[in-house]
């Protein structure tokens, strides 16, 4: 557990908040996609690979039951991703 916290470089409080937001975003994705989101939904905050963008990004990855994979990047931190972002992304 301590190792996970150190890897994320944040305080315990920050880590707890990120976990909470990741769960919130997963729920938004499942609500948006309905039963087509029966697969595995994973959400993580990542460094944006776009050189024109300086902010963090949220990566949402969905692996369907038939192993088709969808990956969406939203150019916001986990805590800023809203239902509107999810609706626009999917």
Q: Does 81 bind Zn ion (CB under 5 A)?
A: no
Distance CA 7, CA 72 (A): 23
Q: Residue 29's Cα: distance from chain center in Å?
A: 10
Applying the rule CB under 5 A, the residues between 45 and 74 that interact with Zn ion are 48, 50, 53, 57
Size of the site for Zn ion (CB under 5 A): 5
Closer residue to Zn ion in complex, CB, 34/51: 51
Structure tokens at 87: 């609706």
Other C-beta atoms lying within 10 Å of the C-beta of residue 74: 20
User: What minimum distance in Å lies between the beta carbon of 61 and Zn ion?
Assistant: 16
Binding site for Zn ion (CB under 5 A): 48, 50, 53, 57, 75
């Amino acid at each position: 557990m301590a190792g996970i916290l150190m890897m994320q470089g944040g305080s315990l409080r920050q880590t707890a908040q990120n976990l909470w937001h990741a769960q919130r975003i997963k729920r938004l994705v499942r609500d948006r996609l309905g039963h087509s989101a029966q697969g595995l939904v994973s959400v993580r905050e990542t460094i944006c690979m776009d050189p024109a963008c300086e902010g963090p990004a949220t990566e949402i990855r969905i692996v369907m039951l038939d192993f088709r994979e969808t990956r969406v990047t939203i150019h916001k931190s986990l805590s800023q991703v809203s239902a509107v972002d999810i609706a626009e992304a999917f």
